Chains A and B, each alone.
Chain A
Amino acid sequence: MTKLIRLYSALFSVLLLFAVPAFAQDEIPEEVEISGNVVDENNEPLPGVNIQLKGTFIGTSTDIDGNFSFHVPFLEGAERTLSFSFVGYRTEEVSISSKSTGIEVVLYEDILRSSEIVVTGLATSVKRQNLANSVGTLDSKELLGAPTQSIESAMAGKMPGLVVSQNTGAPGGGVFVNLRGVSTIEGKTEPLYVVDGMIVNNSATQSGVDRITKAAGAGSSRPQGQPVNRIADLNPNDIENIEVLKGASAAAIYGSKASNGVIIITTKRGKAGATKINVSQKTGFSSILRKIGARKFTAETAEAYQAGGGDLFRKNGNIDYEDILYGETGLLSESSVSASGGDEATQFYISALRKNEDGIVKNTGYEKLSAKVNLSHRFSPRLKLDTYSSFINTEANRAITGNDNSGTTFGVAMAFTPGFVDLRPKNGIYPDGPGGSNPIHTRDALINRETVYRAMNSAKLTYNILRGSEQNLDFIFQGGFDYYSQYNKLYAPAELQFEKSASEPVTSIDGETRALNTTAYFNFVHSLALDNMVFNTTAGFQLENQRVDNLIVEAHGLPPGEANVDLGSTVTPYQFVDKKYDQGIFIQEEISLEDKIYLTFGMRADRSSSHGDVDKFYTYPKASGSIRLSEYDFWESLNDITNDFKLRLAWGQTGSSPPSNFKYSTFQTGNIGGKSGLKVNPAAGDPNIKPERTTELEFGFDAAFFDGLIGTEFSYYTQNIEDLILRSALPPSSGFSSFFTNAGDMTTSGIELSLISSPIKTSDFRWDTRVNFSKTQSEITKLNVDPFNKGGFATSLGTYRIEEGKSPTTIIGNDKDGNVVDLGDETPDFEIGFSNSLTFGNFNFSFLIHWKEGGDVINLGRFLTDLGKVSDDWEKVKVDVLDDNGNKIGETTPRLRGDFGTAPWIEDGTYIKLREASLTYNFDREMVNSMFNGALSSLNIGLSGRNLFVITDYSGYDPEVSNFGNVAIGRSVDVIPFPSSRSFYFNVSLGLN
C-alpha cells in the first residue's frame, strides 16, 4: 500500500512542489565510508569515473589516480550496490554489502558508449543505454579532425541522418544542414541550434550582392546572394560536445521550432583542480579542389569563333583563366589558447582564437577573432550559477560569384571569355572582356566584405529546493541573449567595365543587420528513486523572442574613389524586420525500471506571434520506451553473440511555425515623383495560418556483438508532415498573385545504420572504425492546391515539381519535343560516412571518407559555358546548326541544340570525398616533462587536411552546391559558384603545466 502511494506521488510529482515541507526534513542516518580504485582493461587508472549508490542521488567521482572515497548512509541489512560509469566504458555494478573499502573495479571499453549522458528534455538527461531515440553525439575530439571555418562542416559525414552540404566555396561559409530529409516546402529548413541552453540565431542575411549581379531579376526573383548562416560564427574549439535530436520523436520538447531537428551544443567548462593551459598553432594552405577546364582553341577554331580570333590565338594561345582567378594558394593560420581550472566552488574556462585564412581567389579570405569565458560558481550547496559568455568578430571577403544577369560574376564572365582573348592587365590597364566584365579587374577592384560582431551570453541558475536520499527537486533557470550586428559593404568602382557603361557609374552598398535573440526557461525538475524505479519529472515554461532588423542602403553615381553612400546621385534604402515572439509550456515524465526499461511521456504547448491565432496553444505530445533485453535472464543463451541489446520505440510530434510575415496581407511602397504611395503586395498572407505539424514514429535497436567487437545502431523512422505551408497561386485579376496557406501533406521515411568496431586493440596498435549509412525518401501525399513548379529558373532549364505522389525534390524539364518530363531527384540514394582511427605507438592516423550516391544537380554552369562556346568538351560534342534548307550556319553542342531537351543539364551528383585526414604524433608525457624541464605537460604535432580529394563524374566545380542558399526545395542548382578548396595544416599543440 505504501508503495502504491509512493508510485502515485511519483507519477504526479510536479504536485510535490507544493508538498516540499513534508519531505524536507529527512533524518540523516549514520554514514559509512566507501573507498576504492578504478582502472581500465590495461590496468591504467581511470580518473573522472562517476560512482553512484544505486537508487539514490549519492555519489562521487574518481581522482586522477582512479581513487575514490565518499560516505553513504548506513542501513542495517540493506542490499546496497555501487554503479560505476564513465563515458566510453561499460557501466559496472558492485555490491558493497560485504566490503566497503578497497573496492577494486575494472571498467571495460564500451563500443556503444552506453554510459554517455544524453540530453532528453530541456533540463534532464539520461544515459545512452536507456535512450529511446537515436540521438547522435560528437565530442570535441571527433569534431576537430581538421580545422574548419564553420562548425557545420565539422559534422559532415559523421552521423547517419545528418546531411551537411555547402552552398558555395566562398570564404565564411554558407552551409546547409538537414536532418532526416525534407520536412517543409516553404518553411524554415535549418535545425534549431541550442548553445548552452540558449536558442541562438542562425539566420542568413543577404549581403546585397544581388543588386550588382541582378541575379534576382528576370528568371527568378529569389535572392541568390548565397549568404552565410550565422551559426558559422561559433568557435569549434570551444565545443565540448554536440547532440543531435534528429526527428520529432526526440525533439518534441522543443515544440513548434523543432520540425527540422535540434542541434544541442555544449561548450567546455572548467573542472576543479590544477589549471590546464593549452596552446595550439595551425598553419597551412588551401588550393582549388577541382577545376572544370575550358575549351582548347586552335588558330582555326579561334578564327571560327570570332573574326580575327586566329591572330589572337597565335599571340595569346589558350590562357588558363581558372588558374589566374582560382589558382592562388591561400595561407591559413589558426592560433588558439585556452585555460581551465578552478576550485571546489568556482571553475572557469577561458579561450581565445585568431583565425586568418586567405582564399583561393586573390583578395578573398576569412578572419575570425573569438574570446570566451565560462564560469561556474557554487554559492551554497543548494545554489549554483553557470555563465557562458563569448564575443566573436569575423570578417569575410567573398568576391562576386554565382548567378548573374549583368555579366559581373567571375563564372559568368569567364563563360563568355574564350581562352585566346587576353584580359590580363598591361601597365595597370585592364582590357574590357567579351562577357560583360573583366573578371581579373573585378577581382582586383570590387569589394564584397561581410563583418560580424557577435556577443552570446547566457546563464544557468540551479537551485536545489529539496534533497533527500530518495528524491531531489531542482529549480533551474536558463536564459540569455544572442546579439549580432552584421555589416556588409559592396563597392564596385567606376573603372570596372560594367560600371563604366552604367547610367550612374559606381555602386556602393552598405548593409547593416542587427539581430537579437533572447530566451528564458523556467524549469522544475523532480527526481524520485524508489527501489527499482527512478522517476524524473520536468515542468516549466519558455519565453523566446527574436528580432532581426536588416537595413541596406544602395547608392549609385558616386564620385570616383568614394564609397560613402550619401554621395550617390541615386540612393535607395531597404529595410526588413523579422520579429517573432514565442511562448511555451511543457511537462515531461521519465521513468526508469530497474535500469532495464525506460519510458518517457511529454507534452509541449506553444503559441507564437507568427501564427494566425496568437492565443492558441498548439500541443506537441511525445511518448517513447526502450528495453534492454540483454539485461534479462532469458537472454543469457544469446550472450555469446550479443551481450548488449536494446530495443527502442519512439513517437512524437513537432511543429514548424510559419515565417513571421506569412500571416500579413500588406501594402508595399509605390512612390512617384516625391509623393508617397502604396500598392498591394501581390503575395497575400493567410490570417489563419498555423504551424506545420510533423508526427514521427521511430524504432530501432542498439546492439553490441561478439563481446563488444562490433556495435550496431539501427533506426527506421517515418514522418508524416501535415498542414504544409505552401504558396498557393491566386488569379492575378484579384490584385494578388499568391497567398500562403496550409495546404498539403507529405511523408518522409528513412533508415539509419551505424556499425562501430575496434577490430584491433593491442597496447601498441589500435584500429577504431565506424560506418554510418543513411537513406531517406519523401513523397507529397496530399496537395490542396494545383501542382506547381518551384526553384530553378524555367522548366526548360530544370525546375522542381511539387505534385501529389511525387518526391518533393523531383527535378523536371523538357524532353526533346518540349514535353515536360521527370528528369531526376535531388535526394540521394544513400549516404555513407566511413571514419577510421589508427593508433600505433605515439602515432595516430585518422581519416573520414564521405560517399554520397546519387542525387541530381541542375548544372547551369555547363549551360552557360555552352552558350559561351567554352565548355571543356566543346570540341568533342559539337554538331552543326542547320537552317531550314539544311545549310550549315554554325556549330553548337547537341545539348544547346535541344537534341535531348533539358536532360544534359541534369547531372548525377554522386561523390566520394576525403573529408578529413590527420596524422598526429603525441610525445610521451614523461619525455615532454623532462625535455622542457616540467614546463610542458603535453605536446603533439601533426598534419591534417580537409576535403583532400573528391571523386565524381560531375562536370561542375562541386556537386555540393546551392545557388539559392538554404532553401527547402530547389537547392541543387549550380550557376558557377566560388570553387571549393582543399586545405592542409601543420599543427602544434601543447599543454602547459
Chain B
Amino acid sequence: MNNIKRNVYIILLAFFLVSLGLNSCKNLDFPSPNDPDISNLPSIQWMVSGAEAEMRNELEIYLRVVETFGRNAYYFETADPRYTGELLTGPIDAGGFLLNRHWNARYRVIKNGSLILENYSDDKGATGFANTIIGYQLLMLLNFTDENGVKIVFSRDINTPFVNKTDAFKEIERLLDAGFDDLNAAGDAFSFELSSGFADLSTPAEFAQFNRAIKARVLVLQSKYADALTALSGSFVDEAGDMNTGAYHVYSNGSGDQGNNMWEDPTAPTIKLYAHPSFKTEAEAGDTRFSSKVTERAEAASFNNLESNLAVTTVSDAYGKVPIIRNEELLLLRAEANIGLGNNAAAASDINAVRAAAGLAAVDVAAMSADDALSQLLHEKRYSLFMEGQRWVDMRHYGKLDDLPKDRAGDIVIDKMPRPETEVPGN
C-alpha cells in the first residue's frame, strides 16, 4: 500500500518536473527583440522617411566645416578646439569626426536608397526618389573630397576603388537622369508621403523639378552651363516666385525624430557658431540677407585668437528647417550659367530679382566685365546662401580659394577633405 502511494508520488513528481522542463525549454531561434531585421524590409514609406531623416544626420557638422573652410563662420567649441585649429591650419585628420561623421551618414542614406532600388524596382516613384537621393548624397560627399573622389560601388570590400571627380560627376548625373526618367513614369502620385520639407515638391512631377534643380547645381559645378540652363528649365525656378520655395530638411520634437542641432539662442550667454567678421565688413548697407542671417552681439567672443560678435540666426528655433535647394539658389545658378556663357544681360534680371528681394537696388550686370560679373554673382551667392554650404565649393570651382581671408599667421585654406582612412586599405 505504502509502496503504491510512494510510486504515485514519484510519478506525479516526475511528471511535474518533466512538464516544467518542457515548459522552460524555449525556442532559441527568434528575431531581434529590439529592431526589425535588415532582411525584413518594411513598407516603402518607412524606407523613404528613414532616408529623409538620415539626410539631416551630421549635417550640422558638415555645414560648420565647409562654412569654416569658406571663411563664412567660426565654431567656438571649447570642448573641441579642432573646429578652430585643424579646419583653419590643416592638416585634416583622415580619421577624425569632422570628416567621418558626414561621410558615414551620407552613405547610410545611400544604403536606404539602394535597398529601395533592390526591393521596389517596380515602383517608379520609389526608384525615382531613390536615384535622386543617392545622386544628391554623392554630390554632398564629392563637395567634401573634390579631387580625392568618392566610392560609387557600395561594398563591404575595402578594396573597392575611389573614382575621380570627373567619373563621380558622371555617376551623379547618371543617377539623377535615371531618377528623372523614373519620376516621369511614376504617374500622378507617390505611393508614399514625403515630409513637410517637400511640401512644395510632393508629387512625382514636382519631385522631378527638384531632381532637375540638383542636376543644375551639378552641371554648373562642372561648368556645363548650357546643359545647366536646360536642367533649370525643368526645375522650379521662378523669377516671380518666393525666394524660399524649395526643398528643406525639417525637424520636430516627435518621438524618434531629431531637433536642429544648429540652433542657438543668439542672446544666450555663450554660443558657439559665429559668422566670420568679413561677413559684416563686406555686406552692403541695407542688405536684409545680412540683417536677417546674423545678429550683432554687444560683446565679441574670442577663442583661439579668433574673434567675432556675429551670432548666426539662419535657424529660427530648435526645430527650424534647413534648405536643401530653393528658388533663390536656382535664380543665381541660372545667372551663373548665363555669365559662364558670356550672357551677362540674361544674368542681370535674375541677379536683380534676388537683390530686390533683399531690399537692394539693381546693379548693371550687363555692363560688367566677365570677371566683375562673376565676382558680383559670388557676392550674391555668399549672402543669399549663407550657411547653406555653397561658398567654399563655389570659390574652389573658380580657383579663388586664395582670395579667402586668413586670420592668423599660419592659417591656410583647405581645398579638399582627404579620403577617410576607414575607406582605404592598410590603415
Contact = CB atoms under 8 A, between A and B. Distances in A.
A572 B256 CA distance: 7
A477 interface: yes
A732 B257 contact: no
Nearest to A405: B79
A575 interface: yes
A611 B420 CA distance: 33
Given A520-B20, A671-B254, A737-B104, A581 B36 contact: no
A677 B28 contact: no
B285 interface: no
Contacts of A218: 79-80, 97
Residue in A667, A675, A676 with the greatest tally of chain B CB atoms within 10 Å: A675
Contacts of A666: 32, 34-38
A799 to B, nearest CB: 12
B263 A503 contact: yes
Interface stretch (A161-169, A257-265, A678-686, A869-877): A678-686
B300 interface: no
Interface in B7-56: 10, 13, 17, 20-21, 24-39, 42, 45-54, 56
B200 to A, nearest CB: 14
Contact of B52 (A405, A573, A677): A677
Given A575-B34, A581-B26, A732 B318 contact: no
A786 B25 CA distance: 40
A677 B155 contact: no
Contact of B37 (A461, A463, A664, A737): A664
A607 B268 CA distance: 57
Nearest to A549: B33
B26 to A, nearest CB: 4
A735 B35 contact: no
B364 interface: no
A109 interface: no
Given A463-B13, A520-B24, A677 B53 contact: yes
Contacts of A674: 252, 254, 257
B42 A734 contact: no
A843 to B, nearest CB: 53
A349 B107 CA distance: 62
Contacts of A670: 49-51, 53-54, 57, 256
A579 interface: yes
Interface stretch (B109-117, B226-234, B388-396): B109-117
A575 B197 CA distance: 29
B100 interface: yes
Contact of B195 (A518, A572, A675, A733): A675
Given A583-B28, A729-B422, A731-B422, A679 B51 contact: yes
Interface string A393-421: 00000000000010000000000000000
Contact of A576 (B34, B36, B56, B108): B34
A572 B255 contact: yes
B47 to A, nearest CB: 7
Interface string A868-893: 00000000000000001000000000
A742 B66 CA distance: 39
Given A661-B34, A735-B110, A671 B256 contact: yes
Contacts of A543: 21, 24-26
A401 to B, nearest CB: 18
Contact of A577 (B10, B17, B34, B107): B34
Nearest to A665: B38
B21 A522 contact: yes
A930 interface: no
Interface string B148-181: 0011001111101000000000000000000000
Interface string A525-541: 00000000000000001
A733 B154 contact: yes
Nearest to B52: A672
Nearest to A668: B35
Contacts of B51: 670, 677, 679
Nearest to A479: B20
Interface string A609-621: 1000011000000
Interface in A562-580: 569-573, 575-579
B32 A664 contact: yes
Contacts of B155: 731, 733-734
Interface residues of B, number: 81
A684 B32 CA distance: 13
Contacts of A614: 28-29
Contacts of A575: 34
A737 B252 contact: no
Contacts of A669: 35, 256
Nearest to B263: A503
A665 B107 CA distance: 17
Nearest to B49: A677
Nearest to A556: B253
B307 interface: no
B28 A607 contact: yes
A673 B254 contact: yes
A753 B304 CA distance: 56
A641 interface: no
A545 interface: yes
Contacts of B79: 218, 405
B24 A667 contact: no
A736 B193 CA distance: 26
B240 interface: no
Interface in B218-273: 250, 252-257, 259, 263, 265, 268-270
A678 B80 contact: no
B196 interface: yes
A666 B32 CA distance: 8
Nearest to B426: A786
A501 B49 contact: no
Nearest to A730: B156
A680 B39 CA distance: 11
B24 A545 contact: yes
A980 interface: no
Contacts of A579: 30, 33
A736 B114 CA distance: 13
Contacts of A673: 195-197, 250, 252, 254, 257
A607 B32 CA distance: 17
B410 interface: yes
Nearest to A412: B79
A667 B151 contact: no
Nearest to A500: B269
Contacts of A571: 255
A243 interface: no
B427 interface: yes
Interface in A634-667: 661, 664-667
B45 A675 contact: yes
Nearest to B253: A570
A869 to B, nearest CB: 13
B215 to A, nearest CB: 23
Contacts of B269: 501
A671 B256 CA distance: 5
A736 B259 CA distance: 24
Contact of A678 (B20, B47, B420): B47
B103 interface: yes
A680 B104 CA distance: 12
Given A570-B253, A677-B51, 14 more contacts: A463-B10, A479-B20, A501-B268, A503-B318, A578-B33, A581-B28, A583-B25, A609-B30, A668-B35, A672-B49, A673-B197, A676-B49, A678-B46, A679-B51
Interface of B: 10, 13, 17, 20-21, 24-39, 42, 45-54, 56-57, 79-80, 97, 100, 103-104, 107-112, 114-115, 150-151, 154-158, 160, 193, 195-197, 250, 252-257, 259, 263, 265, 268-270, 318, 409-410, 420, 422-423, 426-427
13 contacts: A479-B20, A569-B253, A575-B34, A578-B33, A614-B29, A661-B34, A664-B35, A673-B252, A676-B46, A677-B256, A680-B115, A733-B423, A734-B111
Counting from the closest, the 4 A-B pairs by CB-CB distance are: A735-B111, A677-B49, A677-B50, A670-B53
